[in-house]
Amino acid sequence: MPATLRVALIGPGFMGRMHAHAWRTAPRFFDLPVTPELVVLAGRDAERTAAAAASYGVPESTDDWRTVIDRSDIDVVDICSPGDTHAEIALAALAAGKHVLCEKPLANSVADAERMVAAAEQASSAGAVSMCGFSYRRTPALALARRLVEDGRIGRIRHVRAQYLQDWLSDPEAPFTWRLDRERAGSGTLGDIGAHSIDTAQWLTGEDIMRVSAALRTFVPTRPVRGESVGLGGRAREDAPHERVTVDDAAAFTASFASGALGVFEATRMATGHRNSNRIEINGDRGSIAFDFREMNELEFYDAADPAGEQGFRRIQVNEPEQPYAGAWWPAGHGLGYEHLFTHQVVDFVRAIGGGETAAPTFADAARVQRVLAAVEDSAANDSAAVDVAPASIEGAPA
Ligand code: SOE
């Protein structure tokens, strides 16, 4: 194992900035088997990418991601660009023997996701590690929830209730972005944030979603294009040209898990007042867990074995050294934030590369989320008819 792990970051936007922060921070707080080093940032626009690289502390930049794949001094390709680029970049990087961290959702289609699974399987025999960035798995409170569920503390699972609520599109004059273009984003709210809920639910319960019945809505069918036409405060001028929204603004679906547990899921960017409320509650026959990202340092836990007269949800503050990730940070009770999830993600990824632990979610896990997304879209297009989640067609097969 070399002393450093040289990283190429693709995508200079919000996620690229977040990942850059994580790559820089991880070795300063956690013991890692190898030290990551950010080498180059790739983006479509040379000037913007160079400015982002300077601001994020990345020494080099390029407007052609292909050049980083060809470089023998790059060990890791970290993909933070829009969904329509994931498959092409990941396949090229894996073929070149790089380790790949890819933002969620894994791809824009099940077919692409499964090609990525096959490529990751093949590359893994040559030592390449791949992982999908479902970052909420790295919230200490959710990692603790998983431990409790795995240890049987809530017993047999009956209900999963997941809501991911945002409101940044509730204003009909909020400008068009690539996230509203099906070609680039694959789907809308469903794939962007609903995918997080699906992954979290399957991971926490250890169960697959087998069947869904869904409805999708696009409440605002066109939006003003960004730029000149958008005036002060980010609102459109009256004469602004509009672009058609080709994805969902909101998704709602019920789900059956493998054991027969019932799920109710809701994802929206139209829930006024909710900037980023990512909630999940799971009820088992021995207890419950409940989490809301707005209180990300806390987990609610109900234990039906508590003595009569003392029962009730207890609020566990997840900043103790005994709890996942927390010991590497501040003294107990001092709290963590959104950016810590990404630092933890880098830690787990680098440890997997160092040979210690499995890199999860694997591309196969993420492809399973993709198949649930496809089933939801299928059901919504068929008047909410129940749709079975398709089994993997090529999971684990060579490319
Ligand atoms: C969308 O607004 C977004 O940035 C998602 O893309 C992220 O995955 C989520 O963590 C926060 O919201």
Per residue in 21-60, pLDDT tens? 999 999 999 999 999 999 999 999 999 999 999 999 999 9
Ligand 1 atom, smallest distance to 168 CA: 2
Q: Whose CA is nearest to atom 9 of ligand 1?
A: 193
**pTM, to two decimals:** 0.96
Domain segments of the chain as ranges: 4-136, 140-295+297-336
Instruction: For residue 10, list its beta bridge partners.
Output: 42, 79
Instruction: For residue 163, list its beta bridge partners.
Output: 266, 279
DSSP state letter for 332: T
Residue type present at position 233: G
Instruction: Specify the fold of 4-136.
Output: Rossmann fold (3.40.50)
DSSP state letter for 14: H
User: Which residue in the block uniquely carries the two structure tokens 């980023």?
Assistant: 276
Q: What is the pLDDT of residues 338-367, one digit of tens each?
A: 999 999 999 999 999 998 678 999 999 999
Ligand 1 atom, smallest distance to 104 CA: 8
Pocket test of ligand 1: the residue of 18, 249, 276, 296 to mutate, having most ligand atoms within 8 Å of its CB, is 276
How far, in Å, CA of 211 to CA of 256, rounded? 5
- Burial class from Cβ neighbours inside 10 Å (0-12, 13-18, 19+) for residue 328 reads middle
Residue 166 alpha carbon to ligand 1 centre in Å: 9
Ligand 1 atom, smallest distance to 338 CA: 10
Helix (H, G, I), strand (E, B) or coil at 83: helix
* Residue 397 · residue 121 · CB < 8 Å: yes
The pLDDT profile of the chain, 399 residues, written as one tens digit per residue, is: 678 999 999 999 999 999 999 999 999 999 999 999 999 999 999 999 999 999 999 999 999 999 999 999 999 999 999 999 999 999 999 999 999 999 999 999 999 999 999 999 999 999 999 999 999 999 999 999 999 999 999 999 999 999 999 999 999 999 999 999 999 999 999 999 999 999 999 999 999 999 999 999 999 999 999 875 555 566 666 678 999 999 999 999 999 999 999 999 999 999 999 999 999 999 999 999 999 999 999 999 999 999 999 999 999 999 999 999 999 999 999 999 999 999 999 999 999 999 867 899 999 999 999 999 999 999 999 999 999 999 998 644 443
Residue 278 alpha carbon to ligand 1 centre in Å: 10
Q: Helices 14-29 and 46-56 meet at what angle, rounded to 10?
A: 30
Whole-angstrom CA distances from 35 to 31, 76, 131 are 9, 12, 18
How far, in Å, CA of 167 to CA of 187, rounded? 17
As given in the structure block, the two tokens for residue 360 are: 């999860």
Ligand 1 atom, smallest distance to 103 CA: 8
CB atoms within 10 A of CB 235: 14
Q: Tell me which residues have their CB closer than 6 angstroms to ligand 1.
A: 166, 192-193, 276
The CATH H-level (homologous superfamily) assignment of domain 140-295+297-336 is Dihydrodipicolinate Reductase; domain 2 (3.30.360.10)
How far, in Å, CA of 277 to CA of 294, rounded? 6
Helix (H, G, I), strand (E, B) or coil at 31: coil
